[in-house]
Chain A
């Protein structure tokens, strides 16, 4: 039992460029997502079929959530937040396929996404409030809270990424322990619980927190 990414090979034989199993599975999920998107949007009609309806429901749900938290800018952030949600969701769910690991159980993925969200939220904060206006916000309500605010700000991508990472890895550890202790069908509902339910919930939480960070940064 060894949770976490395993190095499979090295790119160009360079020991600084490892290729892990999680990286390969994340490529696989990307390919699957893109194929699915292509199939789903190949023949879009004004009277949608089942698949189109489902995809539209997904997109409009994300859009409505965005519209509630970032009024008037839902269309601008829809691709970004939608991709985070879909990518993390598929990354969580694909771990339930036997022989595949969850790419979200790799801190490199979660931290990478959290850093992208971190950069985007600060970019949006500066964009909306001006550089000085945004920086001034860190000195409020009183200036001596500035270090605390900065630490809090830097903690965000860490908590953001470790929450997802911890949930997925923790779930995986519990599952493998139960597989070792209790044989047969007992682990199956637990595996479904951690793989499907927790996976989707965590994807939702990851996306919601990304929206919240951007929303907070925009308000200064």
Chain B
């Protein structure tokens, strides 16, 4: 059962041959593929990291641009509102001025009409007073004297009560 003979050398040689063959056909290729795979995984991870960073950069850029665009839009709106308000104010001022102007001219016209009317009334009153006075006193007076008298009277009236209409 236990006999050591020359086959021990065969066995050692067997082992060494197997070692050499497996080194060549098993460990070599396997470690190579394992290294290659870990290399690939590392590369992929690095690449993914780079891509992620790029994507983040891009996102930041877009966000900044979006923010800028929003701000610009806001500015434009504000500018438009400001301009609108200013325009409205201008229109209102213009309208007020126009209204003032219309009022002035109408007032002027009214005053003018009043003046005309008063003038006519005065003339009418003069002849009416003359008629009435002639009838009342039944006195034949010189037409010219009468008119002078009446005019004098009216003059006095003007000075007393209608002075502001002159």
| A interface residues with partner B (beta carbon < 8 Å) | 2-5, 16-20, 22-23, 26-27, 30, 33-34, 37-38, 40-41, 44-46, 48, 52, 55-56, 59-60, 75, 78-80, 82-84, 86-87, 103, 106-109, 111-113, 115-116, 169
Contacts and interface: CB of A to CB of B under 8 A. Distances in A.
Interface string B1-44: 11111111111101111110111011101111110110010000
Interface of B: 1-12, 14-19, 21-23, 25-27, 29-34, 36-37, 40
Contacts of B5: 18, 108
A60 B26 CA distance: 12
Tell which of B11, B21, B25, B36 has the most Cβ of chain A within 10 Å: B11
A55 B4 CA distance: 35
Given A4-B2, A169-B1, A82 B22 contact: yes
A59 B26 contact: yes
A54 B29 CA distance: 14
B18 A112 contact: no
A123 to B, nearest CB: 14
Contacts of A103: 11
Nearest to A87: B18
B17 A112 contact: no
Contacts of A107: 2-4
A108 B30 contact: no
A16 B5 CA distance: 8
Contact of A44 (B3, B8, B15, B29): B29
A82 B27 contact: yes
A38 B40 contact: no
19 contacts: A16-B6, A20-B7, A23-B10, A30-B17, A41-B26, A41-B29, A44-B33, A45-B33, A46-B33, A48-B33, A56-B30, A59-B34, A79-B22, A79-B27, A83-B15, A107-B4, A108-B4, A116-B12, A116-B15
